[in-house]
């Protein structure tokens, strides 16, 4: 990585603004999944140990968008569900020390909280997206954030693909601007996949839409991936492109020409593109009692494919044998509904097994990460990416505003 990190600047006694990604699920005032909070701990603890005054900022959901929808429908809008206060409580538990909380991220309240901080203190600002200026990358809002601190650290890779005030605009007013340890780790692993993967290199792509993955598929083919295993609903667009009956399975009709183009590109580049051979289906008229596994070519008009089948799992596992680099993004089926999580969980275990056999594995995407946890193998993966959209855009070869804004080494 050619960007400076928090190691490269003197932070002792300084007010350090750390943009983190605490966009986590909160229910009934409690954090349901603290994965992203835990991922930021190395940077936060380093800043504490160095005696910095640690000012944390994050977004949580899209409160203004939700507010607008509520007003249009004439229903009550509850802003409190977007507050980062429960995250401050969870972070206090993880750090084993009090985390101060500011009821706003700019203005007198925030300035006053910062002015009272001592070396080693941690302050979490309220949700950045309570202000429209955040997503608009408003210069005035960015300058108000910047006036709280003396050094800027971006450790929110998951938001690095957005040119927002706290990820890009702030660096115009606050320097130096460097990466945190999570940002560094993400860029190191993803750069290796993109530019110097050890071969054989296998990519596993799933999810609902081919359109979401096209730039990544094209980039991987051009970068010399050896195999691409395709599962999830996106596979049905490829099947329909070949004239197969897909029943009522999810298909992007507008992407059929692109699917054929991708297949031709893969073949021309010597990339093995592998689709499912069987799938779990239900009858759309009797979904509760009709679940079964059938070959893809046996699909009839009333059936809906919801997961890859056992034969496909076995084929995908076989294709992972001997892999030295693995990238996985996207579930193999309707993961959120049991028992259609079986294929995704099986792939999670297969990726973990391949990692134990020497592969470098990178897994991204919320459902894929959930599958790792469900399968009990999250700790057996080389790198679990917190990036989501940022991960896909980086691997598609796009420049990320939150990364570009940081100081070069």
Taking only the tens place, the pLDDT of each residue in 329-380 is: 999 999 888 889 999 999 999 999 999 999 999 998 878 888 888 889 999 9
Nearest residue to 39 via CA among 84, 91, 88, 85: 91
Residues 196 and 339 in one domain: yes
Q: 181, 214, 237 — which closes off a domain?
A: 181
Question: Do 173 and 196 share a domain, yes or no?
Answer: no
Is 389 considered catalytic here? yes
**Mean pLDDT for all residues in the chain:** 93
Q: Is residue 402 part of a domain?
A: no
Residue 1 maps to a domain: no
**pLDDT given at position 208:** 86
pLDDT of 68 reads 80
Whole-number pLDDT of residue 212: 87
Is 409 part of a structural domain of the chain? no
Q: How confident is the model at residue 65 (pLDDT cuts 50, 70, 90)?
A: confident
* Token code pair at residue 348: 């999670």
- Among residues 125, 157, 181, the one where a domain terminates is 181
Exactly one of 209, 223, 272, 373 is catalytic; name it: 209
Stretch 288-293: mean pLDDT, rounded? 84
User: What residues pair up with 326 in beta bridges, in sequence order?
Assistant: 202, 361
25 located within any domain:
yes
CA distances from 79 to 72, 100, 272, 339, 390 (A): 16, 20, 49, 35, 27
Residue 288 in this model has a pLDDT that exceeds 80 = no
Pair (334, 385) in one structural domain? yes
- Looking at the predicted structure, is the pLDDT value of residue 289 above 80? no
**pLDDT given at position 191:** 92
Q: What pLDDT is stored for residue 66 in this prediction?
A: 74
Place of tokens 């901080």: 117
Whether the per-residue pLDDT at 315 is higher than 90: the answer is yes
Q: What tokens appear for 293 in the block?
A: 């596994």
Integer Cα distance of 87 and 99 in angstroms: 10
Would you say residue 285 has pLDDT above 70? no
Opening angle at CA 96, ends 90 and 97, nearest 5: 90
Is the pLDDT assigned to residue 73 strictly greater than 80?
no
Using the predicted structure, report yes or no on whether residue 125 has a pLDDT greater than 90: yes
Inside any domain, residue 92:
yes
Over residues 175-203, mean pLDDT: 94
**Total structural domains within the chain:** 2
Q: Are residues 211 and 337 in the same domain?
A: yes
Q: Active site residue: 15, 36, 144, 162, which one?
A: 36
Q: What percent of the chain has pLDDT over 70?
A: 99
Q: Which two tokens stand for residue 50?
A: 């160095």
Residues 195, 173 share a domain: no
- Give the pLDDT score at 350: 96
> Does 400 map to a domain?
no
pLDDT band at residue 260 under the 50/70/90 scheme: very high
Model confidence at 183, pLDDT cuts 50, 70, 90, reads very high
How far apart (Å, rounded) are the C-alpha atoms in residues 148 and 165? 14
Domain residues for 330? 188-395
Mean pLDDT confidence for 26-50: 93
Mean pLDDT value of segment 317-340: 93
Does residue 160 surpass a pLDDT of 70? yes
Residue 240 has pLDDT above 80, yes or no: yes
Average pLDDT over residues 146-159: 97
Q: Which of the listed residues 181, 202, 236 is the one where a domain comes to its end?
A: 181
pLDDT tier at 386, thresholds 50, 70, 90: confident
Cα–Cα distance, 279 to 26 (Å, whole number): 34
Length of the chain: 409
Instruction: Compute how many other C-beta atoms are within 10 angstroms of the C-beta atom of residue 364.
Output: 26
Q: Are residues 176 and 300 in the same domain?
A: no
Residue spans of alpha helices (H) in 242-341: 256-268, 310-320
Residues 164 and 241 in one domain: no
Highest mean pLDDT among 135-144, 284-293, 331-340, 379-388: 135-144
pTM over cut 0.85: yes
- CATH number, residue 381: 3.40.50.1260
Catalytic site includes residue 209: yes
Q: Which residue is it, tokens 């005035």?
A: 140
Residue % of the chain over a pLDDT of 90:
79
- Do 237 and 355 sit in the same domain of this protein? yes
The Cα-based distances of 122 to 36, 85, 125 in angstroms read 17, 13, 10
Task: Clarify whether residues 193 and 82 are in a common domain.
Answer: no
- Same domain, yes or no: 215 and 159: no
């Amino acid at each position: 990585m050619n960007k400076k990190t928090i190691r490269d600047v003197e932070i002792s006694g300084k007010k350090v603004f750390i943009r983190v990604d605490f966009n986590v699920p909160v229910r009934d005032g409690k954090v349901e999944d603290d994965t992203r909070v835990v991922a930021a701990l190395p940077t936060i603890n380093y800043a504490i140990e160095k005696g910095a005054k640690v000012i944390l900022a994050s977004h949580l959901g899209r409160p203004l968008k939700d507010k607008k929808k509520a007003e249009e429908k004439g229903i009550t809008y509850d802003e409190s569900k977007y507050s980062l206060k429960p995250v401050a409580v969870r972070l206090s538990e993880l750090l084993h020390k009090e985390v101060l909380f500011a009821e706003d991220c700019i203005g007198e309240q925030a300035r006053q909280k910062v002015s009272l901080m001592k070396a080693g203190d941690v302050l979490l600002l309220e949700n950045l997206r309570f202000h429209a200026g955040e997503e608009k990358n408003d210069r005035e809002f960015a300058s108000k954030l910047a006036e709280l601190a003396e050094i800027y650290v971006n450790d929110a890779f998951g938001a690095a693909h957005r040119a927002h005030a706290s990820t890009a605009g702030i660096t115009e007013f606050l320097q130096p601007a460097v990466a945190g340890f999570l940002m560094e780790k993400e860029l190191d692993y993803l750069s290796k996949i993109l530019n110097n993967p050890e071969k054989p290199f296998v990519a596993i792509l799933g999810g609902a839409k081919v359109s979401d993955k096209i730039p990544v598929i094209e980039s991987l083919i051009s970068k010399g991936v050896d195999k691409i295993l395709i599962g999830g609903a996106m596979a049905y667009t490829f099947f329909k492109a070949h004239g197969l009956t897909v029943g009522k399975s999810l298909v992007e009709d507008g992407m059929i020409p692109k699917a054929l183009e991708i297949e031709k590109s893969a073949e021309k580049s010597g990339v093995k593109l592998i689709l499912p051979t069987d799938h779990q289906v239900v009858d759309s008229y009797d979904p509760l009692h009709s679940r079964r596994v059938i070959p893809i070519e046996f699909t009839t008009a009333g059936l809906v494919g919801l997961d890859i089948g056992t034969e496909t799992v076995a084929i995908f596992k076989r294709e992972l044998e001997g892999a030295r680099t693995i990238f996985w993004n996207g579930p193999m089926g309707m993961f959120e509904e049991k028992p259609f999580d079986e294929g995704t969980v099986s792939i999670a275990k297969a990726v973990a097994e391949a990692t134990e056999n020497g592969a470098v594995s990178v897994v991204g995407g919320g459902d894929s990460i959930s599958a790792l946890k469900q399968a009990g193998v999250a700790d057996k993966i080389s790198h679990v990416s917190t990036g989501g959209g940022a991960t896909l855009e980086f691997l598609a070869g796009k420049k990320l505003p939150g990364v570009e804004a940081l100081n070069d080494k």
